[in-house]
Amino acid sequence: MGVNPWVGKNYIADNTRAEIPPPQFLARIWDQDAMLVVLPSRRTPGAYVIARRKQWGPGLTVEAIDAQFPNPDTKMCVLNGCVPVCLMLKTGQSWDADPIIRTLRARDLWAHGGPDKVADLLEAQETAAQMKIDSEIRDDLYNRSGDAWRSYQHRTGQTSLGGGRTAGPKPRQGRRIFSNSPLPSGSTAGSDLISSALGHDGAVSD
C-alpha cells in the first residue's frame, strides 16, 4: 500500500495507532472544504473529529489550554490550531463520505450566506417560535376562560341567549315576584297593605 498523500494535508495523525482514512475519503472532505481536517478522537475509541483550521485568533499556551478546555478532543484541536466541528463514528468496514458531507453542508455558515445571514435566520426562527408559543398561550387562556364562564352559568342556573345575552338566575321556589307596574289609582288601602307586607327583596311569602 502506498503512502497516503492526505496525511499531514487534511489528516492529522494525533494517534499513530488509529486507522488512517483512505485517500478517497479524505479527498472528498478536501473537496467539500479545504480548511477541514480529520483527527482521531482522544476521547472516543474508533471515532474521528472533523475540525476547521483557525484563520484568526491569538495562540494559547499549553497551560492556558489545559485550564480552559477539559474535553481532550477540544484540547487536541486547539493544540493543532483547529476548532472542532463534529464527531464522526466509523461503524463499518467502508468509509462513506456522503453522510459526513451532508452534515458538514448543514453546518456550513458560508453555504447559508455567512455568519450575519445565519444570525438573521436564527433570530427570525426564534421570533416565529415565540409568536407561536404566545398564540398557543392566548388560545389556551381563551378556552379556559370560556370553560370557567360556562361552569359559572351552570352553577348559578343561567343560560346563554342569542346575541350574547344571558338570562338571569332562576327565582327561588315558593315566592311571587311583583312587577313594577303602578297600582291602579284609588287603591290606597291595597297599596298600604302591600307596602307593609313587602320584605327587603320586594317579595311576599306564600
Query: 203 in helix, strand or coil?
Result: strand
Most confident of 22-26, 96-100, 126-130, 135-139: 22-26
pLDDT digits (tens, 9 = 90+) for 64-85: 777 788 889 999 988 888 888 8
Query: pLDDT grade, residue 134 (50/70/90)?
Result: confident
In a domain, 15, yes or no: no
Same domain membership, residue 84 and residue 151: no
Give CA angle at 150 (173, 134), nearest 5°. Answer: 160
> Which pLDDT score, from 0 to 100, does residue 199 have?
45
Query: Is pLDDT of 195 > 80?
Result: no
Pairing assessment for the beta strands 47-53 and 82-89 based on DSSP bridges: antiparallel
For residues 33-52, give the mean pLDDT: 93
Over range 135-151, report the average pLDDT: 85
Binning pLDDT at 50, 70 and 90, where does residue 50 land? very high
Residue with more model confidence, 178 or 145: 145
How far is 65 from 74, CA to CA, in rounded Å? 9
Residues 30 and 71 placed together within one structural domain of the fold: yes
The reply to whether 204 falls in a domain is no
54 in any annotated domain: yes
Taking 90 as the threshold, does the pLDDT of residue 26 lie above it? yes
Give this prediction's pTM: 0.52
Q: Is there a single domain that holds both residue 35 and residue 60?
A: yes
Percent of the chain, pLDDT > 70? 67
Task: Say how far apart CA 160 and CA 153 lie, in whole Å.
Answer: 8
Please check whether residue 55 is in contact with residue 81, taking contact to mean a CB–CB distance below 8 angstroms. no
Helix or strand (DSSP H, E) at 35: none
pLDDT of res. 113: 66
Question: Strands, E, within 45-132: which ranges?
Answer: 47-53, 82-89
| Other residues' Cβ atoms within 10 Å of the Cβ of residue 133 | 10
Asked if 71 and 126 sit in the same domain, the reply is no
Answer whether residue 103 shows pLDDT above 70: yes
Q: Can you read off the three cell numbers belonging to residue 53?
A: 483550521
Per-residue confidence band for 63, with pLDDT thresholds at 50, 70 and 90? confident
**What pLDDT does residue 178 have?**
52
* 75 shares its domain with 149: no
Q: Please name the residue ranges forming H helices in 9-57.
A: 23-32
Domain hosting residue 118, numbered range: 113-159
Give how many domains the chain has, as a whole number.
2
* Same-domain status, 125 and 77: no
Q: Mean pLDDT across the chain, nearest whole number? A: 76
Could you give the CA distance from residue 28 to residue 97 in angstroms, rounded to a whole number?
A: 7
Taking a C-beta distance cutoff of 8 angstroms, is the pair 10, 29 a contact?
yes
Nearest one of 15, 76, 1 to 45, comparing CA atoms: 15
Cell reading at 20: 488512517
